[in-house]
Structure 1
Amino acid sequence: MGRVIVLGNAGLDISLSVQRLPDLGETLLGHDVRRAPGGKGLNQAVTAARAGAEVLFRAPLGRDAQGSEIASVIAAEACLMFHPHHFAHPTDFSLLMVLPDGENSIVSAGPCAAAFRIEAAGAFAAKAESGDVFVMQGNLRADSTQQAMEIASRRGATTVFNPAPLWWDAKSLLPFCDIVVTNRGEAASITGMSDPTEGSSALCTLGAKVSIITLGADGCVVHQEGKTRHFAADPVEAVDTTGCGDTFCGVLAALLAQGQTLDDAIIRAQTAAAITATRRGAFAALPSRSELLA
Structure 2
Amino acid sequence: MSHIVVLGSTNMDLVAFVEKAPQRGETVTGREFRTIPGGKGANQAVAAARAGATVSMIGAVGNDSFGTRLRSTLERAGVDTGRLRTTEGDSGTAHIVVDDDGGGNAIVVIPAANGTVDHLTPGDEELIASADALLLQLEIPLAAVLAGALAARAHGVRTILTPAPAQPLPVDLLNATDLLLPNEHEVATLTGRTDPRSAALALLEEVPEVVVTLGAAGCLYAARGAEPLTVPAPEVTAVDTTGAGDTFAGALAVALAEGRPMPDALAWAAAASALSVQRPGASESMPHRPEIDAQYTS
TM-score relative to the length of structure 1: 0.93
Matching of residues 1-294 of structure 1 within 5 Å: 2-78=2-78, 80-82=79-81, 83-101=83-101, 102-120=103-121, 123-129=123-129, 132-166=132-166, 168-172=167-171, 173-205=173-205, 207-226=206-225, 227-292=227-292, 294=294
Q: How many residues align?
A: 290
- Bigger mean CA offset, 134-143 vs 28-37: 28-37
**1:119 CA drift (Å):** 3.6
**1:131 CA drift (Å):** 6.3
Backbone CA RMSD of aligned residues = 1.7
The letter for the 2-side match of 1:103 is G
The letter for the 2-side match of 1:111 is A
| Contact 2:114–2:139 under 8 Å retained in 1 | yes
Distance 1:57 1:239 in 2: 28
Q: Deviations over 1:245-288 (max 9, x none)?
A: 01000000111122222221111000110011111221221113
Distance 1:34 1:170 in 2: 33
Q: Deviations over 1:202-225 (max 9, x none)?
A: 1211x2111000001111111012
- Any idea what SS the aligned residue of 2:182 has? strand
The letter for the 2-side match of 1:262 is M
**1:192 CA drift (Å):** 0.7
Q: Structure 1, unaligned stretches of length 5 or more? A: none
| Contact 1:171–1:190 under 8 Å retained in 2 | no
Q: Where in structure 1 do 4 or more consecutive aligned residues deviate above 4 Å?
A: none
**Percent pairwise identity:** 33
Distance 2:272 2:120 in 1: 35
- Over 3 Å counting, the alpha-carbon distance change for 1:171 and 1:221 in structure 2 is farther
Q: Structure 2, unaligned stretches of length 5 or more? A: none
The letter for the 2-side match of 1:105 is A
The letter for the 2-side match of 1:43 is N
The letter for the 2-side match of 1:60 is A
- Over 3 Å counting, the alpha-carbon distance change for 1:13 and 1:222 in structure 2 is same
| Contact 1:51–1:293 under 8 Å retained in 2 | no
